[in-house]
Amino acid sequence: MSEKPLRLPLWTRGDLDGFFGLMVDNLVQVLLIVDLCRYVAGLSDELVFQRILPGVAISLLVGNVFYGIQARYVARRDGNPGCTALPYGINTPSVIAYCLFIMGPIYRSTGSAELAWQAGLVACLVSGLVELLGAFAAERLRRATPRAALLGVLAAVGITFIAADFAFRIYTRPLVGILPLAILLLAYYARFRFPWRLPGGLVAVLAGTIIAWGATLAGGDWFGGVPMSGTAVVDALGRGADGSGDFSRVQWIAPVFVADHIWRLLTENPQLVLLYLTVSVPMGVINVLGSLQNIESAEAGGDRFATAPSLAVNGVGSIAAALFGSCFPTTIYIGHPGWKALGARSGYSVLNGVFFTAIFLLGLGPLLGALIPIEAGAAIVAYIGLIITAQAFQATPREHAPAVAIALFPAMAAIIVVNLGLYFDYPGVGVSLIDVLIAPTPATQWLPGLLTLTGANSSWFVVTLILSAVGVALIERRYRTAALWTGAATVLTLVGAIHAYRVEHRAGQTVIREFFVWQTAAGDGTPSLAPAGGRPPASSTAASGTARAPFVPEALPAPRTYASRAWPVAVGYGLATLVFVSAAVVSARRDDASAKGGQARAG
């Protein structure tokens, strides 16, 4: 008798919880994109809402639908009805890197919002191509890297940039944030069933939203609440001449194929593209590595997806984003264990893609942000980070736990450094991050260590992987393997791919940039005090997106710079490599001596 085919529902109750978590996560990225594009890159609302967000919609639809279909295929292939689709969305580090390190500087130097947007499109396209090509080599890297190292990176990111970051949000707005957190813990820790079988994620978001609006209407948003605005809601829908809502902003916005803009930049300003490959290429490589680790996380949770097609579609999503107007790559998200624990299967992924496609193509993006405070959904994202961290310890051999724990160091440094830059740039502080580096005090003498451990362009991600892999190799007494990892760290540090950095302060803004060995910066570890230039006056054509002049690197205002090659770190890694090689030799001799002694006793 033939076996009955596995019946898979198109939708489960857990998919609703998973959808709310993934939707809130993507919503955060959308709000970040709107803010940075407006105030850092100088893009007009027309470019943001009629070019970038429709491009985001296309990229989300491509990946979310594929990963939903893939999950159903894997469920049938493995007889695993609980298979959960890989979570997928906008890549947060790339949003920050491209806005702050590519689009922003170009806009400040040329006054052209269109040129900044075109450069972002090319950066996104380059990242997508790197991700697509990386799909064919990633499986070998995956096999050669210990599970504890891969999951250790996820644990580091999960506990810092996800769980901790959103916990900060919750306790900054406790009136709105704590009750949803309590509801989430009740639903997912205690598995409490709410009346009418309502999903815990839905209850949490509704509770936070109701409290936020209620506190605002009662005039108590100052008491740990979130100030909500009815005016913002009306503006998001459209406001007529008489000041009333007329839904004029709710209209179909068709995605536009923008390959001509990309080609124009490549032919008219090739030097600009080459100048910023040091940002886009590393971000693409990091995206491949991060997505690979997330696939490993899914396998540890019982869902085995083919690596090459999963990574390839990730790259295709980023390429589609660039070709249809978005400057921001997509990625396979951290958090598969969390979505699986929620009971999500394949429906949550498909719904996420369809939802944002409808929202952005109907011009409803501003309305979504005006109605729902981020704090109302922060607890869901924080929970996902906690689950990721717990799984890293649970899904690896017990003796590998110290190797997972060491992964936390670089991530802790990174979240401090990211927030330090924001704090020091606040006008009321009076000093910049570079001022503190130039004149250290006993209280700030370890600040260079934080920067070195973090590096530039999210290189701490790679450092975390290396440290964890070294830890696993030493725990298993595989000294040669440990030497290979520290040898790789030595080379990467000498090249400037990890640990090296340049802190630049220009026009009141601090950025941490790459510092490869072929690049120059006065002082190499000492401050360079070139006068800071101001932002050029924006012409009347900047808002409309008309280029003012071709970009030339010399047009950038000279920044104040503090640069470090991190060569002492390379020396340290080199010495560690020698120590591990020596340990391998000594260990081999001891094993030989022990074997000969055993033979002599047997004889």
In a domain, 418, yes or no: yes
468 lies in some domain = yes
The reply to whether 463 falls in a domain is yes
Q: Which pLDDT score, from 0 to 100, does residue 244 have?
A: 64
pLDDT value for 543? 36
User: What does residue 562 show for φ and ψ, rounded to 5 degrees?
Assistant: -120, 120
Contact between 100 and 503 under an 8 Å Cβ cutoff? The reply is no
- Whether the per-residue pLDDT at 554 is higher than 70: the answer is no
Confidence of residue 282 (pLDDT cuts 50, 70, 90): confident
Phi (first) and psi of residue 535, to 5 degrees: -75, 130
How far apart are the C-alpha atoms of 19 and 487, rounded to whole Å? 43
> The whole model's pTM is what?
0.72
Cα–Cα distance for residue pair 149/293, rounded to 1 Å? 9
| pLDDT (average), residues 357-381 | 82
Segment among 214-223, 254-263, 479-488, 579-588 with least mean pLDDT? 214-223
CA dihedral sign, ordered 501, 502, 507, 510: positive
Q: Which residues of 454-485 are buried (b: 16+ CB within 10 A; e: fewer)?
A: bbbbbbbbbbbbbbbbbbbbbbeebbebbbbb
The 10 Å CB-count burial string (b at 16+, else e) for 591-603 is eeeeeeeeeeeee
Q: In the predicted model, what is the mean pLDDT of residues 215-237?
A: 79
C-alpha radius of gyration, the chain, whole number: 25
d(CA 148, CA 294): 13
- Rounded CA gap, 486 and 472, in Å? 13
Tell me if 208 sits within 8 A of 200, measured CB to CB. no
Would you place residue 234 in the very low, low, confident or very high pLDDT band (cuts 50, 70, 90)?
A: confident
Q: Is 211 inside any structural domain?
A: no
Please give the pLDDT value at position 540. 32
pLDDT tops 70 at residue 263: yes
d(CA 384, CA 336): 8
Instruction: Note whether 44 and 226 are within 8 A (CB).
Output: no
Please report the pLDDT score of residue 528 as a whole number: 40
Q: What HEC string does 419-467 produce?
A: HHHHHHCCHHHCCCHHHHHHCCCCCCCCHHHHHHHHCCCCCHHHHHHHH
Whether residue 365 lies inside any domain: the answer is no
Which has more pLDDT, 323 or 334?
Answer: 323
Give the residue numbers spanning the domain of 485: 406-528+551-593
* Residue 142, pLDDT score: 64
Q: What angle do CA 135, 139, 144 make, to 5 degrees?
A: 140
110-119, 138-147, 168-177, 543-552: least confidently modelled range: 543-552
> What is the pLDDT confidence band of residue 559, given thresholds at 50, 70 and 90?
low
Report pLDDT for 139.
66
C-beta atoms surrounding 12 within 10 Å: 19
Residues 6+ apart with CB under 8 A from 598: none
Residues 279, 517: Cα–Cα separation, whole Å: 15
Tell which wins on pLDDT, 508 or 494. Answer: 494
**pLDDT over 70 at 527, yes or no:** no
What pLDDT, on the 0 to 100 scale, is given for residue 441?
81
Q: What pLDDT was estimated at residue 578?
A: 97
Domain count across the chain: 1
Predicted local confidence at residue 444, as pLDDT = 84
**Residue 423, domain member (yes or no):** yes
Q: What percentage of the chain exceeds 70 in pLDDT?
A: 88
pLDDT-wise least confident of 435-439, 465-469, 523-527: 523-527
More confident site: 99 or 574: 574
**Is 291 within a domain?**
no
Instruction: Categorize the per-residue pLDDT at 523 as very low, low, confident or very high, splitting at 50, 70 and 90.
Output: very low
For the sheet containing 509-513, what is the strand order? 509-513, 501-506, 560-564, 527-529
What residues contact 260, with CB distance under 8 A and at least 6 apart?
none
Mean pLDDT of 210-233: 82
What distances in angstroms separate CA 379 from CA 180, 181, 361, 384, 462, one per listed residue? 6, 5, 28, 9, 28
The pLDDT of residue 451: 92
Residue 40 lies in a domain: no
pLDDT of residue 108: 72
Task: Summarize pLDDT for 462-501 with one digit per residue, the tens.
Answer: 898 899 999 999 999 999 999 999 999 999 999 998 999 9
